[in-house]
Structures are given as C-alpha cells and as structure tokens.
Chain A
Amino acid sequence: MPWDHQNDLQANLTDDLANRDTALMRLDALIAPLARTARKAAGLPPDLPAVERIAAPAGEPLF
C-alpha cells in the first residue's frame, strides 16, 4: 500500500463515521482491482462477491 494512502487512512480510521467512510471508499477503490487480478491468477471466478455499495459522504472526492 502506498505510504501516503496508509498515513491518510490511519488518521481517518479512528475518526468519525463520515471520515471513516471516506477511508473505506479509498480502500475499496484500491483493493477491488487487485482482488480481481488475484482471483484470476488463482483460477477463481473473476467476479467479486456481491456487496452493498458504500455511500459517499457528500462532496467528498475519492482521491
């Protein structure tokens, strides 16, 4: 994980709910493509299990 993301997330994860959701969205954007690539390499179906989307806090840019 890039260091700047990690430091950013680390601060957010102990914060209030909106900030935590922002951190979760960033992690989601980071992890989903990696997970798909890894699944393909492992011979698993490429589609990730269905999940409910995280609602973005208003006005919060992803990155």
Chain B
Amino acid sequence: MRAHQVILGPVLALMLTGVGSYTAAAIAADVAPAAAVATPWQFPPATSQTLDGLMDQAVALGLPEARGAQVWRGTLIATVPAPPGDVAKANIDENDPVFTEGITRQPSADGKLIVTTARGTHLLLKDGSWLLAMTEPAAAASVDASRVTVVPVAPLVVGEPDPQWLERLTREFDPAAVMTLSACMATVAQLPGKPEILLDACHARRAGVLNGDACVQLAAWPWSACEAPICLAAANQETFAAATIAPKPLADAVRAVRVALFAYFRERAGTQPDAARSTAAALAMLDSPLRAWGEAQLALDASVGGLPASAPEGADLALRLQCWTPAQNDAPLVQMGVGGQNVTPSPLLPFTDAELPALLALLEDPRPSRWHDGVLRRTLGDNAWRALGVKWAFDPRLLLARDVNAAWTDAERSASAQAMRAWWTQHGAKPFGATLLSQAASLGDRTLLTIASARPTEKAALCALLARRWQNPPAALPPALLAQALRVGRDQSALTGVIATWPLTGHLRPVLAAWHQIQGDSAPIDALWAELLTSTDAAAPRRLAALVPILMEHPSAAREQQVLTLLRGPLDAPRTWAVLAGLQSWREWDDPDYEWMGGLAGESNPFDNVGIPEPGAEMRFALSLTLIYVALHDQRLLPAVIDRNMRWNMWRFRCGDLALSVNASDDEGEPLDSDAAMPLPADLRVADLAAVLLVGNA
C-alpha cells in the first residue's frame, strides 16, 4: 500500500467534487473511503527524469512531439487524397497495424479521398498538426475540427472511472490516491488494459495534463501483468475477472514505457518505407536486459515467415506448436496475451497425451510461433503453455502456486517451466484428476472455484472441500467471491447447504438475502428492505437501489406498494432516486458492492425481451413494467439537485450517493455527436428519464 495523500489543491478539490461520490461508493467494498485529501500522484524524481529522457529520445527518432500540445475532445474528420489505384485498400481493416479504436476510415463517395473519422481525445501539436485519438498523425490542412472542443488541462482529469479497474486499483494505492488516479486515467482511455493507451498516457503526460504521472503509472500496470501467454483458462469472463483480481505490485513504469515505445517503432518498421531506421529506433528504446528481448522479438518477426501456414501431416511436436494459432471455438475460453485480449483457442490440441512430457520440455523454447497476440510475437514455448492451459482448462501455473499475473520475464518463464516439470515428475504418473484433488487443500478459495468451474469431473469434490472450509463464513470473504461460489456450486448441495446456514449479517448479508430469495425465501430480502427504509445510514439509498432489481424479479402486491410509495416521494430525496436507479439494467449496474447481482441471478435485465416476451417470462417484468408505466406519466421536473448530462451514448444522472447511467442509443460505443459531456435539457421530467430507461434497456 502506498500513501500519497497530503494536501488537496483547489483544482483537485474541484475534480473530487465531480467524482467523489461515485468513487467513494466504488471503493467501499474493500477499503474504507479515506478523507477526500490527495495530491496528484507523482513518480520519484529519478523515474520522472528517465521517462522524460526516453520520450526526448523517441521524439528525436520520430515519435510525434506532444510537449506544448493542446488537448481536444470530440470528433475530428481528416481527409486526404486516396492513393492512386486500389481505393478498396483504404478501407480500415482490423489487421491494419495502425487500426485504433476510435478511428474509422473509408473512401469518399467518388473514391478520390480517404475520410478518417476519429473520436475521443486528440492532441493539437505545437506544429499545427494533429494526433488523432492520440495515435494517428494528421496534417493540419487535412483536418476539419469543427466538431471538437478544446479541453483545458484541468477538466481533463474529471471522468467516470471504470469500476472493475477501480477495484483492482484499490488494492494497490491508498483510496484517496485512487480517486484521483482513476478519474484521471479514465479520461485518457475509458477502458484500461489496452497496451496502446500507455503511449496515449505518455503523450498526455508530455502535454502537461494534471496527473500525467498517474496516467502513465496506471496505463503501465496491465502491461506487466498480462504479458504471460495464459492469464487464465476459465469457463467464462466473469470467472476470469474474479480470479485475476489479486494484489499486485506496481508495474515498473519505465520498463513498460520502453516496451510500448519499442512496439511503436516496430509497427512503423512494418508500415513505413524507412524500416531499417524504425527497427533501429525500436531497439534504441530498450536497455539491457530488455534489449536482448527486443532483438529476439525482431528476430522472431523475421523468421516466422519461414513457417508453413499450418502444420503439415506428420509434423513433429515443435512444428505443430509453432503453427498453432488461436481460432474461433466455443470452449473453453482462454484469456491470453497482452492487454487482456480474448481469444478462443483452436479446437484441436497440437499434442497428444503421450506427448505431454515432450511438450513440457518445450516450455522455454524460444523459436517463433505463428501466434501473434496483437502486440507480441509469441514463442513456441508460449504456445506450449497455452496448449497445456487449454488441455487442462485452467492456467497450469495455478498448480504451482505461482502468481499468474507476474510479469512474464525470462526469469519468470524459466522458473515457471522448471516448477511445471518438477510438478510433472512428482505427479505425472498418476491420473491428473486425482492429483488435482490431492493438491486441492493447498489451493486458495478463488483458485478452487476457478478450477471447479472449468473442470466438471472434479467440481463436486472441490466444492465439497470448499464447504468444509466454509463451515463458518470467512470473515474477509468478498461478496463477489461468494456469489461466484453460489453460481458455480448451484448444483452442489454440500456447498450450498453450508452457506444456507450462515447468519444473515455483516457485509455478506445482501448477497445471502438475494440468494435466499432466488431459492424462494423472500423473508431475508424483505427484512433487509424494511431495515434500509428506516435507516439513517447515508449509504442506505444506494443499498435500497441495489435491492430493487431483486424485488422486480420476485413481485408481490406488497412489494409493489412499497416501491410505488418510494417512487412517488420527493424527487430530491435519494430514496426516490433509489427506485429509478434500481430500474436500470444490471448490465449498466456500476457499483462494485453489488456487481455480483447480475452474475448470481443470471441475465437479469428487467426489460429484456420486452417486445417479445418469452413464454413464462412475463411475470419477471410485472413490477418493472408497472413502475416504468407510472414513471412514464410522471410530469414532475427533475430538480436541480440532480446532476445530469449526456456522455457518449449515455445519459448520466447522479443524486447524492446514487449514480444512474442509461443507454440513450441502441448503438453501443457510438457517440451521438460528441463524446464530450453535454448538458441535458433543463426541462427534463421523470417521464423523460423513464422513457430513456425503457428505450435504452429494451
């Protein structure tokens, strides 16, 4: 835990006013919110100087110069003459190395021009040219900037943090710093975890945004965490997310920036005429021992062309592993690669059971493979790890008690390979399932659940083990992990039977009450609801809101009266707002305290299939449709106390501790006009909000 809290500057105070209520709620699950006191997080002076020097060097070698740039937000349109000949090539292609989320490119109607539309954050460089979406250079003359707005440096730090990202961060930083950093980072990129945002963050820092150091540190984090070939093999994304949120040290930002700059120049080497110069620049970004790694990556690139597109009949194991690339397949999902890229593996494993010992000998093999994860060229050894993970349906390193999020350095790779071989020497002769069970007692709860969800053959035994551990509820059990256990173990009476005896108290009470309701016992939720209705706790409205979707799923006349009474209450009261917030789709539910709910109850959007009800599904909508019907006729103006704006395709409202986001468009990810926050009309009524709730969620 690092503490960086000191004194709050006036600009930060302004910023925290905007995001404080949200972030305080978001981090409440694990870390008590600290007083809203923080200064911008900063690198130690030596790190700062190293980063400055690196960027100076990169700029001298061709990286766009962001120093002195202005930050703009919105939609930029750049138009350049199409290259003579094949206009179709101008169409953007995801395999195009310069493809960037937020940028689309297409030929004009007459085919003479290429029109590039870039949305998001852009830099207007000091020389008058642009860096579209902080990534793609564009000459000043080609840009129509009529739809962008300049964003002063200070407001840039105000943004909506990504809750899952935040939860991970709370384990790294002190809460006050998290408030600052997450808001800052989320502005640079809404979705952390993409490697390219590290360079965006470096540009932002160089342009002088407030909290530039924090931007770089946060963007550097997923880089070092996700370089391993297999982060996890899991049955679904939720399991992955739950299993990989674990305490981690801060990333080595300098190392991460070096790798990002290397990747930048390496890409240029593939697309620009001066390949040799770009290759040299790429290597110049690395110091020892990274230099050797970079040279190996470039050598892999150069030599992979000699591999066949697919392994020929009778190819040896090494060649099969070299040619094995991820392909579309239903199961099991394997999360792999830099930046949390989701790839489903090939259905055909490139090895047989008899070849497993031979495969283990190849875990450190440095020869190239055809697997390129979007940033890194993977080695044969990486592909061997991936194959092992697909074979066993979970990350093999879980068996070795190794940190699956450790930076995938040569040392880590080597140590992991040695440990894997040692494990095999000790256990390989026995049936794998039996060995797994014999080791289960030494595995953590989270790992047990991950493996149980991925391996039906051992699920019952693993859940029974968990049940023995959980005779008494663990004091620090996170609600999300309990929800995961209830979901994974829903057909395991040994486990659910134990959990059913737990007292409905403490931080697990909401998830337990919801689970009892799903089992048909409505008393715990009703008791909790009644308690919260009269509670003076400031968090009570937020907790009420979280219960609303459960009440909607399990309607009764009494519950209808209770929520209708709340809905008709004063509009500046958070409890009234709780009903409206509770009506939003669970897909939009952004409170980590309650993010387990959607997972526990399944797809629980109260408005799913409103137009085409599935047989028997109507009752699920009885209360939510009734409340929406009533709200659609509520002509009361939303009071001034309600914050409201439109950002991207979302309407966002906030009342006290409650945030509400609603899709205002069916086209997810597309901004309406601009992604900058826009004020909504002053004459918005409850009816308008209800309509957006319905339309956006339907």
Contact = CB atoms under 8 A, between A and B. Distances in A.
Interface residues of B, number: 39
A58 interface: no
Contact of B691 (A2, A27, A37, A40): A27
Q: Which 9 residue pairs are nearest across A and B when measured between Cβ atoms?
A: A1-B698, A42-B622, A42-B619, A51-B633, A35-B625, A41-B618, A38-B622, A38-B618, A41-B619
A18 B623 CA distance: 28
A48 interface: yes
Contacts of B698: 1, 6
B665 A2 contact: no
25 contacts: A1-B695, A1-B698, A10-B666, A13-B688, A16-B681, A23-B691, A24-B688, A27-B694, A31-B610, A34-B610, A34-B613, A35-B621, A35-B626, A35-B629, A38-B613, A38-B619, A38-B620, A38-B621, A38-B625, A41-B616, A45-B557, A48-B626, A51-B634, A52-B633, A54-B632
Interface residues on A, range: 35 or more
B618 A48 contact: no
Contacts of A16: 681
Interface of A: 1-3, 6-7, 9-10, 13-14, 16-17, 20, 23-24, 27-28, 30-32, 34-35, 37-45, 48-49, 51-54
Given A3-B666, A10-B665, A31 B632 contact: yes
Given A27-B632, A44-B560, 5 more contacts: A1-B698, A16-B681, A38-B620, A38-B625, A52-B633
Interface of B: 555-557, 560, 564, 610-611, 613, 616, 618-623, 625-626, 628-630, 632-635, 646, 664-666, 672, 680-681, 683, 687-688, 691-692, 694-695, 698
A48 B610 CA distance: 17
Contacts, number: 112
A31 B628 contact: yes
B622 A49 contact: no
Secondary structure at the A interface, as helix, strand, loop or mixed, is: helix
Nearest to B560: A44
B695 A48 contact: no
A20 B618 contact: no
Given A10-B665, A24-B691, A42-B619, A2 B611 contact: yes
Contacts of B687: 20, 24, 54
A44 B633 contact: no
A8 B692 CA distance: 12
Given A10-B666, A17-B683, A41 B622 contact: yes
B622 A27 contact: no
